[in-house]
Amino acid sequence: MYVKRAQLSWWEKLYIPGLIGGLRITWRHFARTLFKRAVTMQYPEERWVVPPGYRGAPYLVKDQDGATKCVSCQLCEFVCPPKAIRIIPPGPAGQIADRPNAEKMPREFEINMLRCIFCGLCQEVCPEEAIFLQKDYSLVGLTRGEMIYDKEKLLALGGVHPGVQKWKHKLDEAKEQEMFKPV
């Protein structure tokens, strides 16, 4: 590809228009920053507004009743591309779920935030809507161990998710069945 060079007039060849133009632009920016505001965001103090749908760190959520939604099905563990999630199920004689209509809840649920790639597959695959990519984007720790988030931490950070309670109406129906007295 050939680019035709523009013919400069003798006035332009003196570099003076270039200098004046440069001075005008630099002064405009300098004055704007000095009298108005720099475009810089003073990061730790000011933070940007995270848009909805942002894929930040994945956390476990609780339902409206404060119960753990996760049922330890391990689908997220299987689907996780970088293998960041590790779930220890309760086992046959383990602790039962803290909500009715759930067979089990994880004994341990860990996400290694150093491995997580924030792809959102765990959220997509979860049949219980128990894990969501939330808005945290700045995860810091002093050690590698600190960056492995355990169940308590994930639940505390995830908070309550006011979504559907999948088995709630089944439970209600079952209760109504028990209340029903044949005439």
Partner 1 sequence: MDWISKTIAENEFVIFTLIKIACAVAGLLTMVAYSVLVERKVSAFIQDRVGPNRTAIPWIAAIPIIGPFLVRLGIFQPIADGLKSFLKEDFTPAHVRKIYFWLAPAVAMVPAFLTIAVIPFGSTLGKQQMVIADLNVGVLYTFGIVSLAVYGIVLAGYAANSKYPFIGGIRSSAQLISYEITMGMSVIPVFLFGGTLNLSELIHEQAGWHAWLPFVPNWFVFQSPMTFLSFLIFLIAAFAETNRLPFDMPECETELVGGYNTEYSSMKFAMFFMGEYAAMIAVSGLMVVLFFGGWTLPFGGLNEMATSIPMGLAHIGIFIGKLLCFMVVFIWVRWMVPRFRYDQLMDLGWKRILPVALANIIITATWLWWRA
Site for partner 1 in 93-112 (CB under 8 A): none
- Phi and psi (nearest 5°) for 93? -105, 20
Q: At 22, is the secondary structure helix, strand, or coil?
A: helix
12 near partner 1, judged by CB under 8 A: no
CB of 23 to partner 1, least distance (A): 6
Q: Cβ(68)–Cβ(130) under 8 Å?
A: yes
Residue 60 Cβ, how far from partner 1 at the closest point, in Å?
37
Would you mind telling me the total number of residues written for the chain in this entry? 183
Binding mask 144-183 for partner 1 (x = CB under 8 A): ----------------------------------------
Binding mask 15-34 for partner 1 (x = CB under 8 A): x--xx--xx-xx--xx-xxx
The DSSP bridge partners found for residue 112 are: 148
Told to check if 6 binds partner 1 by CB under 8 A, we report no
Is residue 49 within the footprint of partner 1 (CB under 8 A)? no
The closest of 123, 114, 110 to 153, measured between CA atoms, is 110
CA distance 117 to 127: 21
Question: In this complex, which beta carbon is closest to partner 1, that of residue 38 or of residue 174?
Answer: 38
What are phi and psi for residue 110, nearest 5 degrees?
-120, 140
Give residues in contact with partner 1 (CB under 8 A). 15, 18-19, 22-23, 25-26, 29-30, 32-34, 38-40, 42
